[in-house]
């Protein structure tokens, strides 16, 4: 599968496509918009729309299936998916590294893109707060010395000798130039799983830390961590923890804020600040989680008014009675408000 997510144990493929999940390996295999070849969708009137082809190329008319990918079930219900699967890699390696600053995390990414090239399949980062949380709440232990930032790099390739040589060359360069101060490498499945769990179980650790305010933001990669720093300074002691982690290779930050319990005043300190900050950097207020019910009224921070109007026209055309996943994704249309 060209898609892998922390939620792989519970999610369904129809839901993945409906939310346009990006996940851990978008960096390598690209978005579902490129890898979904066909869909079958049940429309609001109960009819089935058959766009279920398995061809890699088809330019006959408009690509209707794209409208349903990422529409969160508001335009139709996805009932079958045809997806392009890459060759299963013969060799997988994971490196878990410590970096002394976010600038070094970025420079490590540039170096590793150049040196690992086509075998790079994930570049994830987490800050020291995330590590503290997985250590405290899940009793996991860090395999490298305490660092302000951690990076998980995965390679997937067809030749283990070549892949290990590329990875070793990169690690030598990264250590020698001081980009990375400590690190460990795994080539066997069990150790790979242990390293991935440090990154994948952050969400779970957060749920043990109290009430969680979750933000899933796309930003130009250079500014990615500034939002965490600014938010931490802004909230001070009113938050328990402000943590940042995510798919750095895709410019996708998961910003999470915990508190002992839900507080309206803390929410007011976070929003709309977080959305305004993101909009100033031309980022997206929802990189991969969608807008759902809670964020639909903030769409204007990432999309111009004309685009939202056009989306509402599509919704009205495909679901005139508003029966498909109602009150989600889009703000209510002006017409409906008037009723």
Taking CB under 8 A as the criterion, which residues in 53-112 touch a copy of itself? 53-64, 66-67, 69-71, 75, 87, 89-90
The residue to which tokens 């970025």 are assigned: 106
Q: Which of residues 185-224 bind a copy of itself (CB under 8 A)?
A: 218-220
At 151, give phi and psi (nearest 5°). -130, 135
> At its nearest, how many Å lie between a copy of itself and the CB of residue 210?
27
Q: Which listed residue (286, 319, 324, 325) binds a copy of itself by CB under 8 A?
A: 286
Contacts of 74 (CB under 8 A, 6+ apart): 315, 319, 324, 325, 328, 329, 330
Q: How far is CA 310 from CA 67, 86, 200, 313, 320, in A?
A: 12, 35, 37, 5, 14
Does 144 sit near a copy of itself (CB under 8 A)? no
Q: CB-wise, 185 or 330, nearer to a copy of itself?
A: 330
Radius of gyration of the chain (CA): 21
Q: CB-wise, 75 or 198, nearer to a copy of itself?
A: 75
Q: Which of residues 2-21 bind a copy of itself (CB under 8 A)?
A: 19-20
Residue 71 carries which DSSP code?
A: S
Q: CB-wise, 23 or 98, nearer to a copy of itself?
A: 23
Sole window of 128-136, 142-150, 204-212, 308-316 interacting with a copy of itself (rule: CB under 8 A): 308-316
Do residues 167 and 123 make contact, with C-beta atoms less than 8 angstroms apart? no
Does 320 sit near a copy of itself (CB under 8 A)? no
At 180, give phi and psi (nearest 5°). -125, 135
> At its nearest, how many Å lie between a copy of itself and the CB of residue 6?
15
Q: Which listed residue (85, 103, 267, 310) binds a copy of itself by CB under 8 A?
A: 310
């Amino acid at each position: 599968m060209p898609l892998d997510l922390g939620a792989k144990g519970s999610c369904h493929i129809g839901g993945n496509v409906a939310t346009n999940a990006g996940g851990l390996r978008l960096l390598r295999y690209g978005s579902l918009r490129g890898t979904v070849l066909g869909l079958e969708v049940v429309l609001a009137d109960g009819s089935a729309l058959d766009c279920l082809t398995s061809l890699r190329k088809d330019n006959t008319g408009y690509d209707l299936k794209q409208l349903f990918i990422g529409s969160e079930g508001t335009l139709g219900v996805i009932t079958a998916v045809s997806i392009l699967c890459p060759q299963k890699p013969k060799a997988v390696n994971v490196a878990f590294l410590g970096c002394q600053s976010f600038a070094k995390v970025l420079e490590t990414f540039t170096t590793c893109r150049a040196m690992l090239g086509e075998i790079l399949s994930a570049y994830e980062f987490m800050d020291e707060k995330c590590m503290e949380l997985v250590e405290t709440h899940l009793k996991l232990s860090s395999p490298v010395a305490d660092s302000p930032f951690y990076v998980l790099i995965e390679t997937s390739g067809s030749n283990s000798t070549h892949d290990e040589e590329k990875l070793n060359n990169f690690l030598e360069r990264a250590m020698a130039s001081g980009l990375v101060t400590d690190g460990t490498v795994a080539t066997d499945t069990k150790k790979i799983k242990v390293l991935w769990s440090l990154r994948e179980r952050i969400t779970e650790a957060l749920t043990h830390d109290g009430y969680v305010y979750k933000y899933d933001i796309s930003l130009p990669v250079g500014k990615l961590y500034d939002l965490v720093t600014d938010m931490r300074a802004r909230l001070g002691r009113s938050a328990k923890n402000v943590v940042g982690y995510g798919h750095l290779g895709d410019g996708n930050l998961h910003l999470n804020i915990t508190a002992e319990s839900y507080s309206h005043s803390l929410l007011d300190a976070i929003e709309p600040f977080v959305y305004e900050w993101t909009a100033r950097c031309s980022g997206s207020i929802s990189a991969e989680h969608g807008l759902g019910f809670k964020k639909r009224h903030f769409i204007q921070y990432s999309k111009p008014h004309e685009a939202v109007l056009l989306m509402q026209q599509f919704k009205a055309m495909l679901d005139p009675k508003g029966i498909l996943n109602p009150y989600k994704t889009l703000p209510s249309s002006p017409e409906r408000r008037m009723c």
